[in-house]
Amino acid sequence: MRTPSGELHVCDFKTGQIVSSIQPADYWDDKRHWEIKNNIDTLEFRVFDNTRHSSTLMQQNLVLKEVRDGRIVPYVITEIEKNSDDRSVIAYASGEWIQLAKAGIIPPQKLEGKTVIEMVDIALAGTKWQKGNLEYASFRSMTIDEFIDPLSFLKKIASLFELEIQYRAGVVGSQVVGRYVDMVKKRGQETGKEITIGKDLLGIKRIENSQNICTALLGFVKKEGGEFITITEINKGVPYLVDNDAFQRWNEKGQHKFGFYSPETENEDMDAKRLMTLMNTELKKRVNTSVSYEVEAQSIGRVFGLAHELINEGDTIRIKDTGFTPKLYLEARAIAGDESFKNPLQDKYVFGDYHEIIDPNEELRKIYNRILSSLGNKQEMIDQLDKLVKEANETASNAKKESEAAKTLAEKVQENIKNNTVEIIESKYPPTTGLKDRKTLWLDISNGKPGILKLWKDGIWDPVVPDVESVKKETIEQISKDIESTKTELNLKVQSVEGKAQEIAGQLVGVQKQVNDKVDQTWINNQLKDKADKSGVYTKDEIKDGFIGKQTYETDKQGNVQKFKDVNTYISQTNEALTQKAEKSELTKTNDGLSQLESKTNEIISTADGTKQTLSNLKTQVDNIQVGGRNLLLETATKSHSVKTGENKPHTYFDVAKDIATLMQGKNLAMSFLFTGKVTAWGTTNKWAGFEVKITFTDNTFHYPSCRVENHLTLGKQYNQERFTASAVVMDKPIKEVSVYALARDFTGDVLIEKLKLEIGTISTAWTPAPEDQVSTADFTKKTVEIETTIKGINTSVSNVQNEQGKLTERVTKSEQTANGFKQSIESLTKKDTDISNKLNTVESTVEGTKKTISNVQQTTSELTKTTTEIKEEAGKISTKLE
């Protein structure tokens, strides 16, 4: 880019013809002031009066000046000042485009879906200006609700399309041939120039202001009729946006800092989506402290003739001041300036759009130093971890070897099972396929069940057991003879038994009367009342005597049962003698075959048991699971965390066990809780649901294990006490304090977090309250002593009942010496036992503590009843045979 000559050309405003050319040597005290924001561009200079140049400097004439970026900027003379002291004339001129404010009228109208070219054509229609370089910026709509001038309309267009305006003139020879309006994304260039302290940077101030900080931004646009546009409908019913990171830094006691925002736009088609986009942009500006800079710089490009050091309109440069701590690096844009062609020392610039640049090398150096300091005291831990890794590798290697051995053994067992498995086929016809010699058995049911078992041996079916029908006839004849001989003998014994039974019946009537006199409901109640009302502490001897009485009763009871069993055995022997007549020696072969099969099966079972034991040992070596148990959180039975949509609810904190810091150090943590509710949507800022454990160590470092569910829930699904778990490992260093809190935020729906459990281990267990929340040991011991005292009194009453039962047993024992059959006597005895059982049941319903003792008495009676029933069944079988 060539350097401007500094020559000024004066044009006649009516003809557009250049009427004068003023060289730099003919003027002085020149100053050009420009601002990008409002397209301000002014020029002033001084010449001698009464010269050919001064005569052309009249009102409304134009002054053409070439600026540094090569454009020719047209200025209109707005003021002439003559000074008689030094016989000079000062000309003041502004950019000719200011005359667009009087060049036409734009009526109210609504423009929909127009490009920037179309809108500029409307603005410049009927003026001497025409569109120049216009960058495409999609389609936009605008409503003009009042009469405006073309200049104001151009500014609105630039704001709507987010473009910057640039004016220029076209000159051919000595004639102005055109005036052009350019709209570009950004004026100026990324030059990469650095302004450095001591060279072209005279001074810099960094001003940080937190007055306008906010963590939640409420945006709105007011429409005609008093209505407002907000983002409530598309933001889960909330009219404001939040920044969670800013909230964590700036909140006071959990309260947001609210800010308000209403976009400065004439777009009446503003909707909620567009408003949210603008609000996100604005919120990013307000979450941090606002930083401004005041830079005093000097352009050395023309002072020392360094063309590459020139600063042009809109150029982006870098400002460096190493005197700051930390060093300050800025990226800024030249947004205004004063320039003088004749006196470069007067060049001054105003910078804006500052962005602080972080030196990556400096940041990496800080991170590196932090890593070194944190790892400096971790060498011992790393060595220990290496040792554990080696041990784990050795264990894994041993486990692999053992698993290979177990696999080989299991394959051998499978092979043995396959080779020794016997297949039994049940059918009416002989099998013809899949036959294995001495291994396939056929259950022949051609003549009906149960059938005959046959073995495939040497190509034929060899019966394993003999045909029962062949020996059936002979066996029946022999049995008939034995029954006849026995029938006569039993008739004589039955007659003798009937006489004895009548005698026993009389004796039992007396026994019944004695029992009724001794044991009735009134007597038992009196005994129980007397024992239950006694106070004081029982001595060791009294407790011992109670057990002696119970042991004596147990001995008598076992004696009675044994005598009944002896009678049953005698009758069973008689019946067995008849049964053994039907046994034949042919069954020996069957038993031998089955014995061989059983022997092989036992071998297979023994081999399988060996494999099972080996696999069990392997499991023991590799199994290292820790199962938790004790709940370290207090009040989890009564405290929970419930949040509904839109609630700004603080955390719910839970007290912890007193010894939690000691228990948690270097241990595995298992966390769980029950979740109830339904989440229909998650937010986009900072979703969170679950509970978190904040661990503060004595070296002021922190650890945050958590049990969270936001990534595990199905949207729209109703959960009812669904259990979620998580685990973590606590660093092995001293703990200063522990706090636990539940939290749910940034969601749509209802959430209930309850039954929290924090335990030591790797596997979470079902919820239980903390031991501190349960009944005390002293209360438990007191209740136990009261129960034991009541039971001792009841045991004494039961002993009296057992003594009466003993007397009854002595009488029954005398009747057992008689031979076979006690049909009538036994039925009478069963009836008496039932009466005693009923009375014992009455004792059970009276006192809750006697259940166990009475159950033993009932079990004894049941055994007597069972023995009696067996005698009756044997007697019935004999009677059947006699018939």
**Running DSSP on this structure, what letter comes out for residue 721?**
E
- Residue 805 is predicted with a pLDDT of 44
- Residue 754 is predicted with a pLDDT of 96
Mean pLDDT, the chain, rounded, equals 75
- The first and second tokens of residue 652, run together, are 């719910």
Poorest-confidence range of 92-106, 453-467, 714-728, 798-812?
A: 798-812
- The first and second tokens of residue 336, run together, are 């205004």
Q: What confidence category does residue 381 fall into, taking pLDDT thresholds of 50, 70 and 90?
A: confident
Give 287-327 as a DSSP string.
Answer: SS-EEEEEEEE---TTTTT-GGG---TT-EEEEEETTSSSP
Sheet with 240-242, strands from edge to edge, namely 240-242, 216-219, 258-261
CA-wise closest residue to 282 among 265, 260, 266: 260
Query: CA–CA separation, 829 vs 822, rounded Å?
Result: 10
Q: Put residue 6 in one of left, alpha, beta given phi > 0 → left and psi -120 to 50 → alpha.
A: left
**Locus of tokens 């804006």:** 352
Does the pLDDT of residue 848 top 80, yes or no? no
Q: What confidence category does residue 371 fall into, taking pLDDT thresholds of 50, 70 and 90?
A: confident
> For 532-580, how does the pLDDT look when each residue is reduced to its tens digit (9 = 90+)?
555 554 454 554 455 444 454 455 545 544 544 554 454 455 445 444 4
- Residue 513 is predicted with a pLDDT of 66
Poorest-confidence range of 49-63, 147-161, 257-271?
A: 257-271
- Residue 731 is predicted with a pLDDT of 93
Does the pLDDT of residue 329 top 80, yes or no? no
Does the pLDDT of residue 293 top 90, yes or no? no
pLDDT above 90 covers a percentage of the chain that reads: 28
Q: What confidence category does residue 797 fall into, taking pLDDT thresholds of 50, 70 and 90?
A: very low
Strands of 36-126 (E only): list them.
Answer: 40-48, 62-66, 72-83, 88-95, 109-114
Query: CA–CA separation, 51 vs 611, rounded Å?
Result: 122
Question: Residue 198, SS3?
Answer: coil
- The first and second tokens of residue 234, run together, are 């598309």
**Locus of tokens 């595990």:** 712
